[in-house]
């Protein structure tokens, strides 16, 4: 690496800094400007090899970016760890710096440090998905690999970065790719015990990789067993069985929906086989009423489960069946790990070329072509390492690196020189192809989003205003919307994610959900009425006829005789008290929120528009401030008519002061107007 030293002239501005980099490291803007004016080298390096541009990018010194670049500061100079200023900008989420440094050459976004980490991989390790989205739109490949063949998805799974994993899957990052050790993303998730990430991976197809061994013959299931993670082992086996039976690795995404179904099934069985036969003769209408209520509850539950809660955009996370193939294990050869995966990538590309057309498929083809270049880089790197070993340069103790270097045979270097030159030419050609492919891919991705009507989203991401957008859904956030990590989508007027229905509750299904909890509560209460009838119609008469002793005998003997039926009904009634309490609270809570036009998420998280509406938010029931009968009736009417036209005035007082959907706010508010309101970042 060339040396970029400082001037010998001391700094007249106090003499504290030997180089411009030292001044920038201390965030001394005045000293940097003065030293540049005095003719100090803008690319002077400090003791760690960092230039001023490194520290300006790291500390986000926006006022110095333009002056330093005007002095022709080089963003491709690396420090002693091989990190460029672009790496530092990615570490500090400095989008303005990334844009300024790479505007003339976006290929700088793919520079590799000594370990092969690119700025994109660095951002993935830090769970910085917003910056990754910005780089993605500039044409950066999601499949960039470090020197060990690990991609951003590998590192995100290793570190447990759930947000980044979800974003990468929304951009179709490959779950099939293997590193030099033959490990996929699901291997790393299993080894580190990240259960939620493993679920996300299995949902897009990684369930087919659970029996695929790595280079050492270890499967993800065996990794989980070695870590004694019994929950993950059970989850893997359950997913395999369900995927075989149903074609997907789950019935519901969480266990609470399964628990609810067990509760319903148990109550139906108790009522059908015990309660109903005991009261049908004298109270047939009670049997019919409870049956109708239970049937209506189930219908509403199914509607809530499968209805659209009000998602702002279509789903962006899709299964990767086209990458998995019929036998994922055959896509990797231990003896030729890079070449075998490159051949698989080429076969997928050829198949896609024959079967798909349109803008989406064009982007996929360009991404696969770019991925081929990633594998070719690994091939060239391996060839260079083999050449260095032949030269004796691969081992630090080699004579070529020490004072015994004269012992190398004369002319040996001249024999290696043509091969070295050939590798250099191949590397340069590959870099040019990667640069061209990146530019084409970046344009294709932007054109695809423009065709989908996401122009405003693009402009906000380009400016680095990530608080106003959801990068997973590629949507501009509405005032009352929120991104649900469970379903991976943004929901308008999201109330909460309900595990009992395995779905979000939002503008699209708020009415059906309210009716569901109300009817379910009525059904449970009516069950107690039928139990009351059962006691008077069946239990008391039997006791009066002297069967009480038989009941005690059945209880002590543990027999499942008919005498135990009243006990089963009693246990069920006691158990249902938990559901009476829980569902009753749900009804009360959602009724209260309906009356004042707020949601569960808004009450718990208190985003800025809630703070604006309720500036004195004290106590558990702060949202009842300003409550009135007429306003409550109006809110109820808007709730059932899905009318959000009054939300702006209600939360902000004036429409022009709000942050809402595109149809409700002027465009200049996005550019920092005096009344602009910022939304909180996604938790």
DSSP symbol at 330: G
CA 401 to chain centre: 46
Q: How far apart are CA 47 and CA 49, in angstroms?
A: 6
Q: How far apart are CA 14 and CA 28, in angstroms?
A: 12
In this structure, how many other beta carbons lie within 10 angstroms of the beta carbon of residue 376?
18
Phi–psi pair at 321, nearest 5 degrees: -65, -30
Task: Confirm if 609 and 652 have CB atoms less than 8 A apart.
Answer: yes
Q: How far apart are CA 165 and CA 173, in angstroms?
A: 9
Residue 369's alpha-carbon distances to 73, 142, 291, 345, 364, in angstroms, are 33, 12, 60, 8, 9
| Residues paired with 491 in a beta bridge | 311, 482
Q: What is the pLDDT of residues 473-493, one digit of tens each?
A: 999 999 999 999 999 999 999
- Residues in contact with 124: Cβ distance below 8 Å, sequence separation at least 6, in sequence order: 132, 152, 153, 155, 156, 161, 164, 168
Q: Which range has highest mean pLDDT (104-118, 389-403, 415-429, 667-681)?
A: 104-118
Q: Check residue 561 and give its pLDDT.
A: 52
Tell me the two tokens of residue 99: 């844009």
| Res. 495 pLDDT band, cuts 50 70 90 | very high
The stretch 284-296 carries a mean pLDDT of 96
Give the whole-number percent of the chain exceeding pLDDT 90.
66
Residue 27 in this model has a pLDDT that exceeds 60: yes
Residue 681 in this model has a pLDDT that exceeds 90: no
Q: Among all chains, which residue has been given the structure tokens 């001249």?
A: 414
In this structure, how many other beta carbons lie within 10 angstroms of the beta carbon of residue 643?
12
Nearest residue to 172 via CA among 342, 348, 337, 311: 348
Q: Check residue 508 and give its pLDDT.
A: 95
Residue 210 in this model has a pLDDT that exceeds 50: yes
Averaged confidence pLDDT in the chain: 86
Q: Give the residue ranges of DSSP H helices in 103-151.
A: 119-125, 129-137
Tell me the two tokens of residue 628: 């009135």
DSSP symbol at 675: T
Q: What is the pLDDT of residues 598-619, one digit of tens each?
A: 999 999 999 999 999 998 878 8
Residue 679's alpha-carbon distances to 131, 555, 608, 657, in angstroms, are 18, 61, 6, 13
Q: Give the residue ranges of DSSP H helices in 494-646.
A: 510-534, 540-544, 548-557, 565-596, 600-605, 608-613, 629-641
Residue 114 in this model has a pLDDT that exceeds 80: yes
Angle at 314 between CA 652 and CA 460, to 5 degrees: 50
Please give the helix or strand (H or E) that residue 280 lies within, else none: none
| Res. 5 pLDDT band, cuts 50 70 90 | very low
Q: How far apart are CA 366 and CA 377, in angstroms?
A: 17
- SS3 sequence of 16-46: CCCCHHHHHHCCCHHHHHHHHHCCCCCCCCC
Q: Check residue 576 and give its pLDDT.
A: 94
Q: Check residue 566 and give its pLDDT.
A: 85
User: Which range has the worst mean pLDDT, 100-114, 366-380, 443-457, 462-476?
Assistant: 366-380
Q: Check residue 340 and give its pLDDT.
A: 86
CA 439 to chain centre: 26
Q: Among all chains, which residue has been given the structure tokens 């985003």?
A: 607
Q: Among all chains, which residue has been given the structure tokens 């989203």?
A: 457
Q: In the chain, how many H helices and how many E strands?
A: 30, 6
Higher pLDDT, 253 or 118: 118
Residue 318 in this model has a pLDDT that exceeds 50: yes
Q: Among all chains, which residue has been given the structure tokens 């109550």?
A: 267
| Res. 10 pLDDT band, cuts 50 70 90 | very low
The stretch 492-502 carries a mean pLDDT of 95
Q: Check residue 398 and give its pLDDT.
A: 42
Q: Check residue 135 and give its pLDDT.
A: 97
| Res. 655 pLDDT band, cuts 50 70 90 | very low
So where are the chain's domains?
Answer: 258-311+495-671
Q: Check residue 403 and give its pLDDT.
A: 41
| Res. 549 pLDDT band, cuts 50 70 90 | low
| Res. 416 pLDDT band, cuts 50 70 90 | confident
Higher pLDDT, 549 or 580: 580
Tell me the two tokens of residue 438: 């990146």
| Res. 670 pLDDT band, cuts 50 70 90 | very low
The pTM of this model reads 0.86
Q: Check residue 679 and give its pLDDT.
A: 38
Instruction: With H, G, I as helix, E, B as strand and everything else as coil, classify residue 649.
Output: helix
Instruction: Tabulate helix, strand, coil % of the chain (nearest 5).
Output: 60, 0, 35
The stretch 559-585 carries a mean pLDDT of 85
Residue 371 in this model has a pLDDT that exceeds 70: yes
Q: Check residue 656 and give its pLDDT.
A: 41
Residue 287 in this model has a pLDDT that exceeds 90: yes
E strands, 469-522, are: 469-470, 475-476, 482-484, 489-491, 496-498, 503-505
Nearest residue to 131 via CA among 122, 538, 26: 122
User: Which range has the worst mean pLDDT, 8-17, 387-396, 613-622?
Assistant: 8-17
The stretch 270-296 carries a mean pLDDT of 94
Q: What is the pLDDT of residues 126-142, one digit of tens each?
A: 999 999 999 999 999 99
Q: Check residue 1 and give its pLDDT.
A: 39
Tell me the two tokens of residue 359: 């803008």
Nearest residue to 240 via CA among 224, 228, 227, 259: 224
The stretch 589-597 carries a mean pLDDT of 96
Instruction: With H, G, I as helix, E, B as strand and everything else as coil, classify residue 320.
Output: coil
Task: Confirm if 497 and 282 have CB atoms less than 8 A apart.
Answer: no
Give the whole-number percent of the chain exceeding pLDDT 70.
85
Nearest residue to 601 via CA among 613, 610, 612, 592: 610
| Res. 677 pLDDT band, cuts 50 70 90 | very low
Residue 12 in this model has a pLDDT that exceeds 70: no
Residue 8 in this model has a pLDDT that exceeds 70: no
Residue 512 in this model has a pLDDT that exceeds 50: yes
Q: Check residue 662 and give its pLDDT.
A: 37
CA 512 to chain centre: 28
Task: Confirm if 385 and 372 have CB atoms less than 8 A apart.
Answer: no
Residue 359 in this model has a pLDDT that exceeds 60: no
Q: What is the pLDDT of residues 57-91, one digit of tens each?
A: 999 999 999 999 999 999 999 999 999 999 999 99
| Res. 678 pLDDT band, cuts 50 70 90 | very low
Nearest residue to 474 via CA among 246, 315, 660, 605: 315
């Amino acid at each position: 690496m060339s040396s970029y030293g400082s001037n010998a002239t001391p700094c007249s501005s106090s003499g504290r800094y030997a180089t411009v980099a030292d001044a920038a490291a201390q965030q001394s803007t005045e000293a940097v400007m003065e030293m540049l004016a005095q003719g100090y080298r803008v690319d002077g390096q400090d003791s760690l090899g960092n230039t001023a541009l490194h520290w300006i990018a790291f500390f986000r010194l926006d006022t110095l970016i333009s002056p330093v670049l005007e002095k022709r500061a080089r963003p491709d100079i690396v420090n002693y760890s091989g990190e460029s200023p672009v790496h530092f900008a990615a570490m500090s989420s400095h989008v303005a710096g990334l844009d300024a440094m790479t505007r003339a050459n976006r290929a700088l976004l793919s520079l590799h440090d000594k370990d092969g980490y690119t700025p994109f991989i660095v951002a993935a390790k830090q769970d910085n998905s917003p910056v990754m989205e910005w780089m993605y739109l500039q044409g950066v490949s999601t499949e960039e690999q470090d020197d060990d063949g690990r991609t951003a998805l590998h590192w995100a799974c290793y570190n447990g970065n759930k947000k980044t994993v979800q974003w990468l899957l929304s951009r179709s990052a490959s779950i099939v790719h293997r590193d030099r050790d033959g490990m996929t993303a699901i291997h790393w998730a299993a080894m580190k015990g990240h259960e939620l990430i493993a679920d996300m991976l299995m949902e897009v197809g990684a369930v087919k990789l659970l029996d695929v061994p790595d280079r050492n013959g270890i499967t993800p299931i065996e990794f989980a067993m070695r870590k004694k993670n019994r929950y993950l082992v059970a989850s893997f086996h359950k997913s395999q069985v369900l995927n075989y039976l149903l074609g997907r690795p789950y019935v519901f995404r969480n266990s609470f929906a399964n628990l609810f179904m067990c509760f319903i099934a148990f109550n139906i069985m108790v009522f059908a086989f015990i309660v109903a036969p005991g009261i049908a003769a004298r109270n047939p209408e009670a049997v019919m009423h409870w049956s109708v209520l239970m049937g209506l509850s189930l219908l509403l539950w199914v509607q809530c489960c499968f209805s659209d809660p009000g998602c702002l955009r279509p789903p962006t996370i899709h299964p990767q069946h086209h990458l998995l193939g019929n036998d994922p294990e055959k896509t990797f050869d231990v003896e030729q790990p890079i070449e075998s995966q490159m051949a698989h990538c080429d076969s997928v590309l050829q198949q896609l070329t024959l079967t798909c057309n349109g803008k989406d498929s064009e982007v996929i083809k360009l991404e696969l072509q770019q991925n081929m270049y990633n594998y070719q880089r690994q091939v060239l790197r391996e060839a260079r390492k083999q050449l260095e070993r032949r030269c004796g340069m691969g081992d630090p103790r080699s004579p070529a690196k020490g004072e015994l270097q004269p012992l190398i045979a004369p002319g040996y270097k001249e024999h290696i020189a043509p091969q070295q030159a050939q590798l250099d030419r191949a590397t340069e050609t590959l870099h040019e192809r990667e640069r061209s492919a990146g530019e084409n891919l970046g344009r294709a991705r932007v054109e695809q989003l423009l065709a989908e009507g996401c122009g405003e989203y693009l402009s906000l991401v380009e400016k680095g205003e990530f608080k106003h957008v959801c990068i997973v859904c590629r949507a501009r956030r509405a005032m009352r919307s929120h991104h649900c990590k469970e379903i991976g989508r943004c929901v308008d007027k999201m109330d909460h994610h309900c595990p009992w229905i395995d779905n979000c509750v939002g503008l699209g299904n708020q009415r059906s959900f309210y009716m569901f909890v109300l009817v379910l509560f009525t059904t449970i209460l009516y069950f107690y009425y039928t139990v009351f009838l059962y006691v008077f119609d069946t239990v008391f008469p039997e006791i009066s006829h002297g069967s009480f002793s038989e009941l005690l005998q059945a209880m002590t003997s543990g027999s499942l005789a008919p005498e135990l039926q009243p006990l089963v009904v009693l246990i069920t009634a006691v158990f249902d008290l938990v559901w009476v309490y829980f569902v009753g609270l749900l009804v009360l809570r959602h009724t209260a929120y309906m009356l004042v036009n707020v949601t569960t998420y808004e009450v718990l998280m208190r985003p800025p528009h809630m703070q604006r509406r309720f500036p004195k938010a004290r106590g558990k029931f702060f949202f009842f401030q300003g409550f009135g009968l007429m306003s409550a009736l109006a809110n109820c009417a808007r709730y059932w008519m899905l009318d959000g036209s009054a939300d702006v005035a209600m939360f902000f007082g004036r429409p022009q002061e709000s942050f809402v959907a595109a149809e409700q706010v002027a465009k200049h508010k996005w550019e920092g107007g005096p009344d602009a309101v910022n939304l909180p970042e996604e938790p």
